[in-house]
Structure 1
C-alpha cells in the first residue's frame, strides 16, 4: 500500500464523479514504492507553502495522492497560468466541431482588428504569444478595469501598439488568450465561462472547476479555479491523447496539436521564470521532446505534468499564491515519481 495522508478513490472517474460530501482521497493499492516521494514532499513542505496536494495517475487510476496541511484533493484552488492550457483545449474542441481554424485571422470574427490595423493576427498566434502586440506583465491585464471580455479586447485592440510583426517573436502575455476567448464567445454566442463548462468541464467530470464570473471580466489566461482531482482528469485526457473514460474529447489531430512545439529558442524574447530552455506548445511547455514531457507551471505556485515516456500525469496544486514555481523542488518531485515507476 502507498503512504497517504487521508482516504482516496480507485479511479479518476470515481474520484471526479463522487459527491462533495462523500469524496475523499484514497489511492488504489499498487506495488509502486513512493516512500522517496513522500520524503521529498515532507522536506519541501515549507518551500511549497505548507498547504498543497499532489496526485499522480497512470493507466486511468490514481496511484498516488497526498494532501499536506489544510489542502484537500476536492477543494478548488486558483490554478493560475495552467488556465491557458484549458483555454487552448477548448479552442481545439471548437476546431474539431468545424467552428474555426487555428490559422483563421482574428479579424474574421472581431472586425475591430481591421479597424486598428491588426487584421493579420491569427488565433494560433494568440495562443502562442506571437501576436506582436506590446505585452503586459503576467497577471496585469485583469485588474478589475473591464466588466466584459468584449470591452477588454476592444480596448486592448485600440490601445496596444504593434511591437513586432505577428508570428516573429514570442513574448509571454495574457493578451492573446483574452482575444481567443472573445473569438470563442462570438462564434458560440455564449459567455466564455459557460462554453468551457459545456465543452470541457462537464465531459471531464470536472465538477469543481470554473472560470469565475463576477463583477469583472473572466480571465482565460490565469483565472481558472479547479480542484486537484478535477485537474488530474484533464491531464489524464492529455496523456491519453484526447480520450477520457473511453470517450474521445479531442480528435487525434487536435490532441497532437496541443503537444506540438510552436517556438524555437531564438524566437523567445520574454518568458516566465522556470521555463528556460523549454519550447512552448499551446498553453503548456515542452520540458523534454524525447522523451516527451509536457509541463504547465503557474506563477501562483502550481504545476501540472504529463510524462509520455513513463505514462503518468501529475498535478501539484497549492492553496494560495506564493510566487514563481520553485523549479528545483518540482524537478525533485518529478524525479521521485519517475524512480517509483521504473
Structure 2
C-alpha cells in the first residue's frame, strides 16, 4: 500500500486528472453549454510537488467514495509509456487528453512548455480545411466547384479538379513543388506556376496522393473569392474565434504561405482549435463551423478512392464508412486526434520528427483507446 501511494504521488507531480480548464476571456460571447477555454496550465506551469499534493482529492471524487483506481491506473500506465519512449521524442514532448471541460491527463518532459511557439507542419491542414469550410457555409464556395472556375491558369489538363479533391488528396496534383517556400513569390504566382509548370500524377478523382500543394491551391481560391490575403481570411474566420490571434502561416514567406504545412503555433493554441473540432464547431461559446461542416470534414471525401481521407483529417477505426477516430499527423511528430466513440481528444506535441514518433504515437493512441 505504501508503495502504491508513493507511485500515485509521483504521478500527481507530472500529470493532472479532472483539472478544470482556465476561464473564458471576458470579451468572448458566453454559452452555458460550452464555456471552456482549453489550455493545459499544468504543463505550462511548474509541476506540483508531492508534498503539496492533496492525495485524497486525487483518489476520491467525494469523501467516502470508492477509490478511483481505474483513473489512477490509467495515469500510471500513460506516464510509464511516455517515460519508456522518451528517447523516441528526443526527451521533448507534451501530451494532453481531454473530455468535455475536463483534463483527463497531461504530461510534459523537456525544454518546451505549452506556450512555446513551434512549427506544426501538416497539422496545419485541418486548420486550412476549416477556413475553407466557413466559405462553403457562407455560400461563397462549393466543395464540388472546379478550380478552373476561379483560377484561369487551371483551364488546361487540370481543369476538372474540384475543391473537394484538393482537400481530400485526390486532385492528381504533385504533393510538393519548388515554388512552395519561395519568398520572392506571392501565393498567386506560386499557384499559377503549379498550374502551368507541373504534371498531373493521375486523372482527378482516380487516385490518392497525400500532399500540401493542393492546400495552397484551395487557399488561393479563398483569396480570390474574399479579395483578401490568406492571413486575413484565416484570422477573421477561424483564428480570432479560436484564441489563435498570434498564429501565423510561414513567417519566412508570408506572401506565399504554405497553407498545408506552414503554421507556427503553441500547444495551447492548437488545443483550442482541436477543441473546436471536438465540440462539433464551437469554441468557447462561439460558433466557428456548423456541426454539419465538421461531420463533412470527418467523412470519406475521396469517393471511395481511399477512405483514409476526410478534409484535412485522417480517418481511423472505420466501420460502415464511419470513422470512430480522426487525426492529423505531422512531419515534426505533432499528432492530434479525436475519438468520437469514447468522447475524448488528445494531442502529442513534439519536434522529434515523424520517423521516430509515428509508431509510439499510434501505440499511445491505442493505449488510451483501450483504457478510457
- For Structure 1 versus Structure 2, the TM-score category normalised by the shorter chain is 0.7 to 0.9
How much has 1:209 moved relative to structure 2?
2.4
Q: Name the CA distance, whole Å, in 1 between partners of 2:197 and 2:358.
A: 35
Q: Name the CA distance, whole Å, in 2 between partners of 1:26 and 1:65.
A: 11
Q: How does 1:9-20 map to 2 (within 5 A)?
A: 10-11=20-21
Q: Any idea what the Cα deviations from partners look like across 1:62-81, whole Å, max 9, x if unmatched? A: 33221110121121211111
* Number of residue equivalences: 324
Instruction: Indicate how the Cα distance of structure 1 residues 103 and 49 shifts in structure 2: closer, same or farther if over 3 A, else same.
Output: same
Return the match for 2:244 from 197, 206, 224.
206
Q: How does 1:1-342 map to 2 (within 5 A)?
A: 3-5=12-14, 10-11=20-21, 24=45, 32-33=71-72, 34-114=75-155, 116-133=156-173, 135-137=174-176, 142-144=180-182, 146-215=184-253, 217-263=256-302, 267=305, 279-290=308-319, 292-318=324-350, 320-324=351-355, 326-341=357-372
Task: Please state whether the residue corresponding to 1:154 is helix, strand or coil.
Answer: helix
TM-score by length of 2: 0.78
Q: Any idea what the Cα deviations from partners look like across 1:285-316, whole Å, max 9, x if unmatched? A: 11112461011111221100101111111111
Task: Please state whether the residue corresponding to 1:172 is helix, strand or coil.
Answer: coil
Q: Which runs of 5+ in 1 are unaligned?
A: 269-277
CA contact (8 A) 2:146 2:163 kept: yes
CA RMSD of aligned residues (A): 2.9
How much has 1:338 moved relative to structure 2?
3.1
How much has 1:340 moved relative to structure 2?
4.5
Q: Any idea what the Cα deviations from partners look like across 1:132-153, whole Å, max 9, x if unmatched? A: 23x245x865343652111100
CA contact (8 A) 2:278 2:345 kept: yes
TM-score by length of 1: 0.85
Instruction: Indicate how the Cα distance of structure 1 residues 13 and 107 shifts in structure 2: closer, same or farther if over 3 A, else same.
Output: farther
Q: Any idea what the Cα deviations from partners look like across 1:203-256, whole Å, max 9, x if unmatched? A: 111244221333462110011112111211222221221122233211122111
Q: Any idea what the Cα deviations from partners look like across 1:168-217, whole Å, max 9, x if unmatched? A: 11112222101001111111111112211221121111244221333462
Q: Name the CA distance, whole Å, in 2 between partners of 1:62 and 1:207.
A: 23
Task: Please state whether the residue corresponding to 1:324 is helix, strand or coil.
Answer: helix
Greater Rg over alpha carbons, structure: 2
CA contact (8 A) 2:170 2:302 kept: no
CA contact (8 A) 1:302 1:325 kept: no
Task: Please state whether the residue corresponding to 2:88 is helix, strand or coil.
Answer: coil
Instruction: Indicate how the Cα distance of structure 1 residues 58 and 140 shifts in structure 2: closer, same or farther if over 3 A, else same.
Output: farther
CA contact (8 A) 2:333 2:358 kept: no
Task: Please state whether the residue corresponding to 1:67 is helix, strand or coil.
Answer: strand
Task: Please state whether the residue corresponding to 1:293 is helix, strand or coil.
Answer: strand
